[in-house]
Amino acid sequence: MAKIKSKKVILFDLYQTLIDIDIGGENKKRNEAKGWEFFAKSLEQYGVYIAPAEFIALNDTRREDFYVGKDKKIHHHHFCTLVARILKDDLHIEFSHGEISSLVSKYHKIARGHVRLYPGVVEVLARLQKQYILSTASYTQGCYTQPELKELNIDQFFSYFIYTSDVGFQKASPEFYKQCLEIVGKKAGDCVMVGDNYDVDVLVPQKLGIKAVWVKNPVTANQYAHLFEQEPQGMVNLDEFDKLPEVIERVFS
């Protein structure tokens, strides 16, 4: 992808910043179980009969193999790659990349529970797109988040799509943000990170000189209260998301 020059860049976290998903423990477990049931059932059309629990076990094994010699707090696996290896090496069937992406995307639609944009997100992104280059910078699996952005009709606002699974590093690692700067072709001072995770969306990028805006989401905010004595200036309350352009303007000034 050709690098876009001149404008400054806004890097966006996605989940619980722009997109509301069900992160409740019991709901998540129940939805994931339904998703795996669908996935296993879908393989029957290819002559593969496997119990959901057996496929989960294979997935767990492949994931653990990936992290051998790696720090899970720094590195991040690619789910679609693991699934492709399970299908080819363990179940002896070969799928195209498109077929695997489609299966994983359908699995995720069930496993994720509800998904919806927070109020004002479309209007704010449309407004910011006129003045800045927008990019995702999210902890997720790109193979199912990319179609999800299209489903929500906000992919149109982004020039770059950066996901931890594709980069291979967690957001807790400065390497993730170094890759972001490389991909968008900008210096740290020309970028601002926007997200609800104060530790990895604010503190980590700031170490590299990337500016940051914390989106205070009441669902996730309390876990970060110990990290500051008073609320940071570069902050916007989720229920006042329409004020984000003004906050970003101040951060860049």
Do residues 121 and 107 share a domain? Answer: no
Whether 227 maps to a domain, the answer reads: yes
Do 16 and 41 sit in the same domain of this protein?
A: no
Which domain range does residue 229 map to? 9-20+117-252
pLDDT band with cut points at 50, 70 and 90 for residue 233: confident
Listed in sequence order, the residues at least 6 apart from 9 whose beta carbon sits closer than 8 Å to its beta carbon are 132, 133, 134, 135, 184, 186, 190, 191, 192
Residue where a domain terminates, one of 65, 80, 111: 111
Total structural domains within the chain: 2
Can you tell me the distance from the alpha carbon of 129 to that of 112, in angstroms, rounded to the nearest whole number? 28
The pLDDT value given to residue 141: 95
Do 15 and 42 fall into the same domain? no
pLDDT band at 187 (very low <50, low <70, confident <90, very high): very high
Which amino acid makes up residue 100? I
Given a cut of 90, is residue 231 above it in pLDDT? no
* pLDDT attached to residue 232: 81
Query: Is 141 inside a domain boundary?
Result: yes
Nearest CA among 91, 114, 125 for reference residue 194: 125
Last residue of a domain, one of 94, 111, 128: 111
pLDDT digits (tens, 9 = 90+) for 78-87: 999 999 999 9
Q: pLDDT value at position 6?
A: 65
Tens of pLDDT along 193-225? 999 999 999 999 999 999 999 999 999 999 998
129 and 60, same structural domain?
no
**In this structure, are 16 and 52 located in the same domain?**
no
Whether residue 2 lies inside any domain: the answer is: no
Residue 86 in tokens: 């399970």
Say yes or no: 53 and 73 in one domain.
yes
What is the DSSP secondary structure assignment for residue 158, as one 8-state letter?
-
18-36 residues labelled b (16+ CB within 10 A) or e (exposed): bbbbeeeeeeeeebbeebb
pLDDT at 2: 43
Q: Are 48 and 100 members of one domain? A: yes
Please give the Cα distance from 212 to 243 (Å, whole number): 15
Q: What are the tens digits of pLDDT across the range 75-128?
A: 999 999 999 999 999 999 989 989 999 999 999 999 988 899 999 999 999 999
Q: In angstroms, how far is the first alpha carbon of the chain from the final one? A: 29
**pLDDT tens digit sequence for 60-71:** 999 999 999 999
Rg over CA atoms, the chain: 19
Cβ neighbors of 33 (< 8 A, separation 6 or more) are: 52
Question: How many C-beta atoms surround the C-beta of residue 67 within 10 A?
Answer: 12
Q: How far is CA 53 from the centre of its chain?
A: 26
155 and 95 belong to one structural domain:
no
Mean pLDDT of 48-67: 97
**What tokens does 91 get?**
């179940």
Domain co-membership, 237 together with 128: yes
Residue 253 pLDDT more than 80? yes
Q: What's the predicted TM-score (pTM) here?
A: 0.92
Q: Which domain-ending residue is among 80, 111, 142?
A: 111
